[in-house]
Structure 1
Amino acid sequence: MLYTPLCYNDVYPINANDFQQFQMIVYKNRQCYVQRLDDGSFQMYQLLSTNPYDYLEHAFHPGTIINNNNIM
């Protein structure tokens, strides 16, 4: 178990080439990194927010599927 205020990617760096598969979008007025799936929907990868309550919302949990209709 590793207790740190750093995010996972700061402790275990991601390869820059791997990160190109993600794109930043605005979803429910919050910035997120997502990965586009083959069917056109998106899968949540990372939420970028300074509000700790945003991380409690199920819509922003990693792995959540987002439809194109919900994206700004």
Structure 2
Amino acid sequence: MVDKRSGVVDGVVMCHAVRTGLVPTPKPHADPVRVAETGRRLAISLAGKIKCRKKAEQTRGSRGVSG
């Protein structure tokens, strides 16, 4: 489906168009600000996951649990 506000074609429609041989409406170029914001959020999320994983490993090690 096409989002009438942004003119972006939904991925489901894009896949269907490819399978049926229809030529889909090309997606507009991504907004650089949105791309940068998404990348920043992803980096923050990954940093948080790494921090949690390290903390969990330290907690396991301090309890003296042997494998």
The TM-score with structure 2 as length reference comes to: 0.24
Asked which structure has the greater RCO (Cα within 8 Å, sep 6+), the reply is: 1
Structure showing greater Rg: 2
